[in-house]
Amino acid sequence: MILVDEGQSPLILCLPHSGSDIPGVVAKRLNATGRLQADIAWRLEMVFDLNKSLDATVIRSSISRYVIDLDQDPSLKAADPTSSGLCPVTTLDGKRIYNENEEPGPIEIEQRSLLFVTPFQRALGQQIDRLMRQHRRIVLIDCQSMRSHIKGVTDKGLPYVSVGSGGGVTCHQNVRNLLAGSFTGQQGVTISVDDVTKGGHIIKTFGRPERGIHAASILLAQRSYLRHESPPFEPDKARIARLQALLSDGLSRLIDWTALEDLESVSVLPPEGVHEDTPDRQTTNEPQNSELDQASDNKVLAGPEFPKAQASRVSQVEAGPVQPLLVAE
């Protein structure tokens, strides 16, 4: 199921990995590791419950990332039917999540894509189209979270917050600078920009700054809002409140930024101490003093035509039936 809470401000918060629902015909094939679902963005919807304060549009799916990853390119199914990207068969640290010989095959992966990825992208496109009719420009934030320490992935520890902008392609540089800047100077907060993550398929597909659609990603270390990064993934109310205050500040500044007449007339400087990946040095997970690249990138990606949206509403969009063919091949 796709859950859409419509707002009227030029801000969309997209949560592709916060769902935990697994259809029964899939769940019975998962092993004990798979049933733990350690790699989903547990309780992240509590952090981004900002619809009332920011009048933001929030869109998320109830389907677990272990069924299908809504932030991966659906074409991955053709290149590698058992890719750990689109329909994961292992955890992020390489542990199997299915019982032996129960992994999804090419037909099932295709069906999962049609049932879940296509409707989600359509719903997101409709919200973008709706808001573009009301505003000169909008900002789309792909909101994700991950365990702070994952063997082979974040061995040195995940920064408190990681901002991605497709290497500066999917949004104006002020968007990423405002997002990162809202976290600077905070005790215990480390920040990464276009290093740990540059963003996934969602911002690369929908981010069109030349059309007024600015897309960026925020990846939070789960220690920033959970009491424990293990079952039952208990939320920490004090940490969530602190995080919401920081996010609200940065996101409200972004909303104000979208109303500027001339974006080039105002330059938001990159915050000091932010770690960003640059071509002339190797990537690490430790924060370093560096400046964000101020040069604009003229690369333009071809994007989809967005369907026309219907009247504004709070909606629950059904992702379609789950029963047919969801069996191992």
CATH class belonging to 2-317: alpha beta
The answer to whether residues 30 and 89 touch, using CB atoms and an 8 Å cutoff, is no
Is residue 14 packed enough to be buried (19+ CB in 10 Å), middle (13-18) or exposed (0-12)?
buried
Q: Kindly report, residue by residue over 70-128, the tens digit of the pLDDT.
A: 999 888 665 454 445 789 999 998 999 999 999 999 899 999 999 999 999 999 999 99
pLDDT > 70 fraction of the chain, expressed in percent and rounded:
78
- Tell me which residue of 264, 260, 267 sits closest to 291, measured CA to CA: 267
- Which residues of the chain are under the pLDDT cut of 50? 79, 81-83, 277-329
- Residue 74: predicted pLDDT: 86
Q: Give strand ranges (E) for the chain.
A: 2-5, 11-15, 57-61, 138-146, 161-164, 191-193, 213-221, 275-276, 315-317
pLDDT at residue 272, rounded to an integer: 54
Model pLDDT, residue 276: 53
Boundaries of every domain in the chain? 2-317
Taking Cα atoms as reference points, which of 12, 114, 19, 7 lies closest to residue 65?
19
